[in-house]
Amino acid sequence: MSSWKEWIFTTDHKRVGILYLIGSMAAFGVAGLMAILMRIELSSIGPTITADPSNYNVWLYFHGAAMILGFQIPALTGFFANYVIPLMIGAKDVAFPRLNALSVWLFYAGIVLALLTFVIPDPPDVMWTAYPPYSTITRGNTAFYTFTVLTLGFASILGGVNFLTTVAYMRAPGVTWNKLNIFVWCTLAAFVLQLIFVPVLGTAVTLITFDKYLGTHFFDPLQGGDVLIYQNLFWFYSHPAVYVIFLPFIGVVYEIVATFSKNPVFNYKMVVYGGVFGIVAISGVVWVHHLYVSGMADWIRIGQMVTTLMISIPVGLMVIGLVGTLYKGAIDFRAPMLWALGVVFLFLIGGLTGIPLAIPSLTLHLSDTYYVVGHFHYVMAVAGTFAIFGGVYYFFPKMTGRMYHEGTARWGFWLTFIGVNIVFWTMMSIGVDGMPRRYYDYAHFPQFLRAHQLMTLGASLIGVGFALAVINWIHGAWKGEKAPDNPWGSRSLEWTTTTPPPPGNWAEVPKVAEDWNPYAYGQRR
C-alpha cells in the first residue's frame, strides 16, 4: 500500500490541496447533517427529535464552528489556494512544501478534534462564538473548542507564510504583479488578514480556557475581569474572518466568470487596488457592529456604523467588476458558470440586507434574530458554498483528468438554489417579526410554526442538491469521460499544463508572451 503513504507524506501542492478538499468536504457533510437535525427539531413546537435542549446546542455549536473553521476557510485557503496558486503563477510548487504538509496534517488534527464532539461525554455547547461567562461555567467541554480553534488557526498561519512567500518569489518570468489572477490577489489578501488577526482569536479562546480550567479571572467581573473584552477580541478576528472567506470565494467567481464570458476582467486595477486593498484596509475597524447591543460606548457604536457602511465601497467595486466582466461577453452557461452566477445573485441579496445591520438603531431590533442568521447565510455561508461548488466543478477536469456529468450538475444547482432561497429568505422574514436565534424551541412564538416547517422542507431540497454534486464528483473522478487539457478555453496559466498536471507541474518553466495576461481574450483595441 505505498500509494496511500504517498498521499499522507506528500509534499506536492496539488495533493496537499486535494487532501484539504476531502477534509473540508467531510466537515461540510457532518456540519450539514447537523443543520438537517436542527431543521427537523424546529419543524414542530416542543421536543421533536430530542427532548434535551443541550443536544440542539451541541449541533448548533458544531454546525457553526465546523462550517466556518473546518469547511469554508480550509476549502478556500487550503484547497483552492494550494491546488491553483502555484499553477496560476507558473511555479513548480509552493515555497515551503514540507511546511505545507505540516499544515494539512494540523488541519486533519483539527478536524478530528472537532469530531470528538460526538464522542466525549460533555461536548462543547458554547456556540461558535463561546462568549464567557457561559463558556467558562458550562458543563460542556470548552477546552475542545479552544484546541480545535488553535489547531486549525495554526494550520492556516502556516499556509499564510507559505503563500505570501510563494507569490512574492516564485512567479514565472513575465508574470508580473499586475498580471496576477484576481483569485491570487484575493487569496493573498485573505492570508494577510489571517496572519494579522488569527493570533487575536487564539488569545481570546486561550483565555477562556484559562478562566475555566486554571482559575484565572480575565472575564470574571467579580474578580476584576470584564466580559466584554472577550467579545471585542473575538470579533476583532471574526469580522475580518468573513473577508477571509469572502475574498477567495469572490476570486474563484471572477475566474469562472472571466473564462465563461471569454472577457477580460472589467477594470482590473479598480478591482485589485480599490476592491481587494480597500477591504483589507477597512476590515479591522468594523468589528463593533457585532456588539451594537452589548452596551459599548455610544461614540464607538456610531463611529463603526460609518466604517461598516463604508465597506459597501470596496465590495461594491468588486461587484461592479464582476458584472462588468459580463458586458459584451460570450457567455456560456456551463455548470461552473451557473453556480458562479448564483453567487452573484445570493451575494447581492446578502450584501444589501447587511446594510440595515450596519445601522445600530435598526440593529436594536434586528440583532440576534433570524434576520441576522438569514443575512449571513446569504452573504457568506451560501454564497461562499456556491462559489466553492462552482470552483470544484471548474477545476474538476484539471484535477481529475475527467469530466463530470453536466446534467446532474445543473439539477444539483437548481435544487440547491431554490432550497436556499426558501430557507434563508424565510429566516430573514420571521427575524424581522421577532424570532430570536439559537432557539431550541419557540413555544411563545406559535405564529412562526408554518415558516419553520417551510424551512425544514427547503433544507431537504438543499441537502439533495449538494448530495447530487458530491455524487457527481465521485462518479466523474472514477468513471467520467477523459478531459482535454483546457476544456473551457481559458488563457490562464493553470490550463497550459497537461491534465492532470505532473509533479513539478511543467517540464520546464512556462514562458509567457509579452502581451499575455490571464484574461487576454479577444479585445478590440
Partner 1 sequence: MFRHNTVLHALAWWALTGSAALAAYPPTGAVNDPARGWDRLWHEVIVDISVLGVIFAAITAWFVIRYRRRDPAQEGGSFKLTTASAVGWALIPTFVFMADDFYLAAKGWALWNDYRSVPAERLEVQLESGMYSWDYTYPNGVKVQNELKVPAGKPVLLRMTSRDTIHSHFIPDFRVKEDSMPGRVTYLWFYPEKPGEHIVTCAEFCGVMHSYMVGKVIVVAPADFTAWYEQEAARLAKQSAAKPEA
Please report, as ranges, the residues that interact with ligand HEM according to CB under 6 A. Answer: 35, 38-39, 60, 63-64, 67-68, 72, 127-129, 373, 377, 380-382, 385, 423, 437-439, 459, 462
Closest CA to 28 of 350, 438, 384: 384
**Minimum separation from the CB atom of position 221 to partner 1 (A):** 2
CA angle 345, 352, 321 (to 5 degrees): 60
Helix (H), strand (E) at residue 188: helix 182-209
- Of residues 417-446, those binding Cu ion (CB under 5 A): none
DSSP summary character for residue 523: -
**Minimum separation from the CB atom of position 203 to partner 1 (A):** 20
Positive/negative CA dihedral, 14, 417, 381, 326: positive
How many other C-beta atoms are found inside a 10 Å radius of the C-beta of residue 168?
A: 11
- Would you say 212 or 239 has its CB closer to Cu ion? 239
- Would you say 342 or 384 has its CB closer to partner 1? 342
- Residue 264 contact among partner 1, Cu ion, ligand HEM, none, beta carbon within 5 to 8 Å by kind: partner 1
Binding status of residue 375 toward Cu ion by CB under 5 A: no
Amino acid at 377: H
- Residue 157 contact among Cu ion, partner 1, ligand HEM, none, beta carbon within 5 to 8 Å by kind: none
- Residue 164 contact among Cu ion, partner 1, ligand HEM, none, beta carbon within 5 to 8 Å by kind: none
Binding status of residue 239 toward Cu ion by CB under 5 A: yes
**Minimum separation from the CB atom of position 290 to Cu ion (A):** 5
Positive/negative CA dihedral, 37, 43, 49, 51: positive
**Minimum separation from the CB atom of position 316 to partner 1 (A):** 5
Pair 324, 266: CB distance under 8 Å: yes
Residue recorded with cell 480575565:
218
Which among 14-22, 132-140, 162-170, 232-240 is the span making contact with Cu ion, rule CB under 5 A? Answer: 232-240
User: How is residue 237 written as a grid cell?
Assistant: 478576528
- Residue 239 contact among Cu ion, partner 1, ligand HEM, none, beta carbon within 5 to 8 Å by kind: Cu ion
Query: How far apart are alpha carbons 121 and 140 in whole angstroms?
Result: 9
Helix (H), strand (E) at residue 335: helix 335-358
- Residue 284 contact among partner 1, ligand HEM, Cu ion, none, beta carbon within 5 to 8 Å by kind: none
Residue recorded with cell 430573514:
428
User: Where does residue 75 rank: exposed (0-12), middle (13-18), buried (19+ CB within 10 A)?
Assistant: buried
- Would you say 410 or 437 has its CB closer to ligand HEM? 437
- Residue 520 contact among Cu ion, ligand HEM, partner 1, none, beta carbon within 5 to 8 Å by kind: none
The footprint of Cu ion (CB under 5 A) covers 239
